[in-house]
Structure 1
Amino acid sequence: MFKQLEARFGLRMIPAVFYTSAALAILFVAIAAPFNEPVAAFFSDVAGWISTYFGWFYILSVTGLLIFLIWVAASRYGSIRLGGDDARPEYTTLTWFTMLFAAGIGTILMFWGVAEPMTRLANPPLPDVEPGSQQAATLAMSVSLYHFGLHTWTIFTLPALAIGYFSYRHGLPMRISSIFYPVFGERINGPVGWFIDIVALLGTLFGVAVSVSLGTLQLNSGLNYLVGLPTNYLSEALIIGVVTALAVVSVALGLDRGIRRLSQFNIVIAVMLMVFIWVVGPTLFITQGTVENVGNYLRDLPWLAFWTETFEDSDWQRGATIFYWAWTIAWAPYVGIFIARISRGRTIRQFVTGALGAPTLFTVFWFSTFGLAALNLEFEHGVELAAKVQEDVPVALFLFLEQYPLAILSSLAGVVIIIVFLTTSADSAALVVDLLSRRDDQPSQVRQRVFWTLLLGGVAATLLLGGGLDALQNVITVLGLPFCALLVFMAVSLTRALHADHLGYSLKDLAGGRTPRMDIMGDRPDTPDSGSEPFMEDRREQEEDR
C-alpha cells in the first residue's frame, strides 16, 4: 500500500516515520479542535505533575550539557572537523550566524525582549525580593539572560554538533537516530531508530507550532495597534494562514534562495530596530546597564543554573524556566539539524564557540537594549509597563515602542520582523521534518515539504484554540520531557564516538561491542586505523541493496 501511495503521489519517505508522525499530528488536530477544553485540562494536569516530579531533571540536564559542550570544545576533540580533514565551511561566518539566528530564536527574542524583563520585574523568582523594586529589576535582567543565553543555545548546539559529526564525519543519514549508532548499531534503521525519529519529528512540529502561535498572538496585538485588527481567534487563524502561505513559497524555493535571503534581510532589520531604540532611548543608561548586566549574569549564573525551588513554596519555575527549557528542547531537533546542515567544514571548537558565543552575545545586547529601556520607562517616566504586560504579554513590544518617536514606523518594522522570523522558522522546520521522514538516498520533494508546512500551520491554529499562552506552556512542557532524556543520551553517544575516532576505532567497532579504553594520556592503540571510510562504503552498499 505504501509503495502504491509513493508511486501515485510521487512521495519519497520512510513509511513508518512519515505515516506514523503525520497520523499522530492529524489525530491531535482532529481531537483537540472540537474538544479543546478537555484536552487543555489534560495537558495542564500532566504538565503540573511533570513540573513537580521532573522539574529538577530539566534544570540539571541543561546545565550539565552546557558543561559538557565547553569540555568538548576545550578538549583534544576540539580540532576534529565536521567532515573530512580538508573540509572547509560552505558559508561565511556572518552568513552562517544570520541563518542560525533567524531559524533559531529570532521569534523568541521578538516576543520576550520586553515581556520577559517586565514579567520578572512584576513577579520575581525569589519571595524575599519586592516586586517592582530595583533589586527585582537587577534580578529580572539576570534571569532573562539565563533563560535566553548560554542555556538556550546549549539545547540547540548539542544535537547540531552530534548530527553534523555523525553525518559529515561518518556518512550517516542526517537524522536524530544516527546519533545513537554507537549504542544501537544497525538497529537505527529499524523500529528503534524509527521511534527516535518520530519523537524528534513530533517535537519539531509541536515546538515550532508553539513559536508560530506565540508569534501570532504578538502579530495580532501589533496589527490591532497599527490597523485596528480585532484580537480574536478569527484574526489569529487568518494570520497563521498568511504565515503558512509565505512559508510554503519559501520552502518551495529551497535553502539558498528562500531561507538564506530571508534570514539575511531579517537580521539587518532587527539590528536596525535595536540600534534605533539605543539611539532614541536612554543611551547612556543602556550602555552602562549592558556592562553591568554581563557581570550580574556571570555572578548569578551558577546558582540559577542549579536552582530548583527546593526551599520555596512556589510554582514559579513551572511557568518560567521549565517551560522555556521544554519549549527549546522540543524544537532542538529542527534547529539542530538545520544548523548541522549549514555547518559542514567547521571544527568542533569553532562550531561550539560560534554556536554558543555569538548568539549569546547578541542576546545580551538585545535584552539589555529592550529590557533596560523598558525598565527606564517604568522607573523614570512613570509608564506602568510591567502591570500592562502582566495583563497582556503579547502586546508588550508594541506598548513599549509606543513610548518612543516614530512609533508607527517602528511597530511596522516589528511586525515585518516577526512575520519573517515566523516564516523562516516554519519553512526551516519543514525542511528538517522532511529530512527526518525520508531516506538519505532519496531526493527532497517540494510536495512533501509543503505538506509538513501546512500541517504545522494546522497544529499551531489548534494550539491557539486550546486556550492561549497557558495552554501552549502546558502542551510543550509535556512534549519536551522525552526529548530531554534523548539529549542526555546524545552526549553519552557522542563522547563514545569521539573517543573512538581519536583512538582510531570505527563506529562499527563500538556498535559491535568493541569499546576503546578511556586512556588519560590520549595515546592511540597499536592497531590499524579503521577510520570512517570502510564504514561509509558499507553504508553505501546497504543502501544499494535496499
Structure 2
Amino acid sequence: MSDAPPGSTAGHPRLGPVFYVSLVLSVAFIVVGFAMPSRVADALEATRQLVVGTFGPVYPVTVLVLLVFVAALAVSPFGGMRLGTADTRPEFGWVSWIAMLLSAGVGLSFLFWGTAEPLIHLADPPGGIAAPGSPEAAAAGVRYSFLFWGLHAWAIYAVVGIAVGYSSFRHGRKLLVSAALRPLLGSKADGPIGKVVDILAVFAILFGVATSLGLGTRELNAGLGHALDVPESYGVKIAIIAGLMTVSTISAMTGLGRGIRVLSLVNIALCAVLAGFVLILGPTGDIFGTFGAGIRDYVGSFLPMSFATEGVAGDTWHQEWIFFFWAWWIGWAPFVGTFIARISRGRTIRSVIAGVVLVPTAVSVVWFSVFGGTALQRERTGAVDVSDVAGNTKAIATVDVLGSLPAATTAFVLLVPVLALLFITSADSASFMLGSTTSGGRMKPPRPLRLMWSFAAAFAAVLLLGRGVTTLQGSAVVAAAPFAVILIGLCVSLTLSLWRDHAAERAGRRIPTDPQDQ
C-alpha cells in the first residue's frame, strides 16, 4: 500500500505561506513572551474573558450540533461510505488504531482528572445545584465528568477526522482542514482563506498541546513532590518537560508504524492494568454503583447538561467549566482530528464513528467510574481528605487516593510509566501533525519539521507554565474560538461532498479526484 493517496504531497515538502507565517508568529510569540511575560499573560487573560463572555454560550450549542450531526451520519446511508476507494483497506488494525487515537486524544490530563474531577464537583457542585459534600453533589460530579469526557467531546474529533480523511483518501486532496472545506469554499480553499484556516489550525494545535503539557507538567511535579519529596519548582518543571519531550521527539521521528504506534499500545496496556488494579483492590462495589448511577443520571440529565441550563442563571461555574471544557476540546480538534484522519484510511464512516465516539466514551465512563468512584468512596469514609485541594493540585488528589489503597507501592510503580507515556504520546502525535500541516498536508512530514515543532511546543509550554494556570487555560480558549466556526463549515462541506458522491455512485458514475491536487 502506498503511503499517500492520489494527489497528496508525496514528494518534496511544500514549505509555503502556512509554514513561514506559522514559524514567524510562533517565534514572535515565544520571544515576546519571554521578554514581556506579564503583558502576554494579561493579554491572554483579557482575550479569554472577552471570548468566553461573548462566545461562551455558543460552545455548548455548537458541540451538541456536532454530536447530532455525527449520530445522523452514522445511521444514514452515508455511513457505509469509505475513507478511500472501494478497495482501500485499513492501514492499522483495530487495536493499534484505538490505542493511537485514545493516546492522542486524552493525554496526561485524563489520569489526573479521572480521580480529581468528581472530588472537585463534590466540594463545588455544578451550578450550585446541590449542597457541597452531599450525595447529590457527588452524583452531579460523576455525570458531569461523563459529559466532559464522553459523547460530546469525541464527536468534535470525529467531525474533523471524517471530513479531512474523506477529503484526502476519497478525493485525493491534501491532508489539511482547508482542503476538506473545498466542497463549500470551492477554489477559495486554495487561496488566502484556506491558508488562514490552516494557520489557525497550526496555532490551535500549538496552544492546545502547550496548555496540556504545561498543566500536565505542573500536576506531575506536584504529585512527585507529594509522594517522593521532589522539589516543586520552575526548574524541576522545565527538567520534566525537557526529559519527556526528548523521548517524545525520538518517537515522533521514527514515524507512525514504529514509534507512535508501539508507544500507544504500551500506554493503553499499562492504563488497563492500572485501572484493573484499582478496580480489584479498591472499593469494587462502590465503583460498580458509581458506574450504574452515573449512566442513569447522565442519560436523565443529557439535554439540560448539553444546553448548559442547569443551575443558577449567570453562575460563573458555567464559564469556568462548560465553556472552558468545550473550548479546550475544540482547540484540540485540529490536532487530534487530523491525526485520526491520518490513521483511519480505509475505514467506513460508520466504523470511524464507532471507534472515535463510542469506544472512547465507554473507556471514559469506565475510567471515571473506577478512579472517580474510588476517590469519592475514600473521601466519604475519611480515608483521604483532598476534595478541597483537588481543584488546584489534581495530582496530589490522585496520589493520596491511590496511596490509601492496599499495595499502594504497586500502584505508584504503574503510575509513573503511565504518566510519562500519556505525556509522550500526545506530544509526539502533535509534532507529527504540526509537521504535516506545515508541509502541505504531507502524509510523512519531514523529520526536521517534526523536530522543530517539538521544540516549539516545548518552548510554548515553558513560557505558559511560568504564567500560571489561568494563562494556560486562556491560551486554549483563545485558540479555539475561530475553530468553532470552522467545525460547522466542515459539517456543511462534508455533507455536500457525501451527497454528491452518493448520487454519483447510485448513478454508476465515477467519483473524480480534484485536479488541483494532481
Question: Is the TM value for this pair above 0.5?
Answer: yes
Residue 520 (structure 1) aligns with = none
Aligned 8 A contact 1:118 1:140 in 2: yes
CA distance in 1, matches of 2:96, 2:338: 17
Q: Is 1:145 equivalent to 2:125 in the alignment?
A: no
1:197 Cα deviation after fit: 0.5
5+ residue gaps in structure 1? 1-9, 506-523, 542-546
| TM alignment of 1:32-181, pairs within 5 A | 32-181=33-182
CA distance in 2, matches of 1:37, 1:235: 22
- Range 28-37 or range 136-145, more displaced: 28-37
Q: Is 1:531 equivalent to 2:499 in the alignment?
A: no
* Number of residues of Structure 1 aligned to a counterpart in Structure 2: 508
1:442 Cα deviation after fit: 8.7
Residue 377 (structure 1) aligns with = 378
Aligned 8 A contact 1:167 1:174 in 2: yes
What letter corresponds to residue 173 of structure 1 in structure 2?
A: K
1:295 Cα deviation after fit: 1.3
What letter corresponds to residue 496 of structure 2 in structure 1?
A: R
Q: Which has the larger radius of gyration?
A: 1
What letter corresponds to residue 184 of structure 2 in structure 1?
A: V
CA 1:61–1:355 in structure 2 vs 1: closer, same or farther (change >3 Å)? same
Residue 471 (structure 2) aligns with = 471
What letter corresponds to residue 427 of structure 2 in structure 1?
A: A
Q: Secondary structure at the match of 1:414?
A: helix
What letter corresponds to residue 492 of structure 1 in structure 2?
A: V
Q: Secondary structure at the match of 1:33?
A: helix
CA distance in 1, matches of 2:79, 2:385: 49
Aligned 8 A contact 2:304 2:310 in 1: no
What letter corresponds to residue 238 of structure 2 in structure 1?
A: A
- Range 91-100 or range 369-378, more displaced: 91-100
Aligned 8 A contact 2:107 2:212 in 1: no
**Large movers: runs of 4+ above 3 Å:** 10-13, 308-311, 440-443
What letter corresponds to residue 42 of structure 1 in structure 2?
A: A
| TM alignment of 1:311-390, pairs within 5 A | 312-381=313-382, 383-390=384-391
Residue 486 (structure 1) aligns with = 486
Residue 26 (structure 1) aligns with = 27
CA 1:440–1:340 in structure 2 vs 1: closer, same or farther (change >3 Å)? closer
CA distance in 1, matches of 2:34, 2:134: 43
What letter corresponds to residue 199 of structure 2 in structure 1?
A: I
Identity, % of aligned positions: 34
Residue 248 (structure 2) aligns with = 247
What letter corresponds to residue 486 of structure 1 in structure 2?
A: I
- Range 398-407 or range 439-448, more displaced: 439-448
TM-score, with length taken from structure 1: 0.89
Residue 497 (structure 1) aligns with = 497
TM-score, with length taken from structure 2: 0.94
CA distance in 1, matches of 2:29, 2:234: 19
- Range 272-281 or range 315-324, more displaced: 315-324
What letter corresponds to residue 344 of structure 1 in structure 2?
A: R
CA 1:257–1:154 in structure 2 vs 1: closer, same or farther (change >3 Å)? same
CA distance in 2, matches of 1:383, 1:251: 39
Q: Summarize deviations over 1:343-378 as a string: whole Å, max 9, x none.
A: 111111111122110000000000000001100011
What letter corresponds to residue 509 of structure 2 in structure 1?
A: D
CA distance in 2, matches of 1:318, 1:471: 15
1:465 Cα deviation after fit: 0.9
5+ residue gaps in structure 2? 1-10
Q: Secondary structure at the match of 2:330?
A: helix
What letter corresponds to residue 498 of structure 2 in structure 1?
A: L
| TM alignment of 1:438-453, pairs within 5 A | 438-440=439-441, 444-453=445-454
Aligned 8 A contact 2:70 2:155 in 1: yes
- Range 70-79 or range 108-117, more displaced: 108-117
Aligned 8 A contact 2:158 2:356 in 1: yes
Residue 4 (structure 2) aligns with = none
Aligned 8 A contact 2:51 2:478 in 1: yes
Aligned 8 A contact 2:327 2:477 in 1: yes
Q: Is 1:405 equivalent to 2:406 in the alignment?
A: yes
Residue 396 (structure 2) aligns with = 395
1:476 Cα deviation after fit: 1.2
Residue 201 (structure 2) aligns with = 200
CA 1:14–1:310 in structure 2 vs 1: closer, same or farther (change >3 Å)? farther
CA distance in 2, matches of 1:385, 1:11: 54
CA distance in 2, matches of 1:373, 1:191: 52
CA distance in 2, matches of 1:391, 1:462: 20
Aligned 8 A contact 1:111 1:214 in 2: no
Residue 8 (structure 2) aligns with = none
What letter corresponds to residue 242 of structure 2 in structure 1?
A: G
Aligned 8 A contact 2:175 2:443 in 1: no
Residue 262 (structure 1) aligns with = 263
Aligned 8 A contact 2:245 2:424 in 1: yes
Q: Summarize deviations over 1:151-182 as a string: whole Å, max 9, x none.
A: 11011111001011101110000011111111
Q: Secondary structure at the match of 1:389?
A: coil
Residue 513 (structure 1) aligns with = none
1:331 Cα deviation after fit: 1.6
Aligned 8 A contact 2:121 2:137 in 1: yes
Aligned 8 A contact 2:100 2:265 in 1: yes
CA distance in 1, matches of 2:12, 2:437: 14
CA distance in 1, matches of 2:517, 2:126: 54
Residue 3 (structure 2) aligns with = none
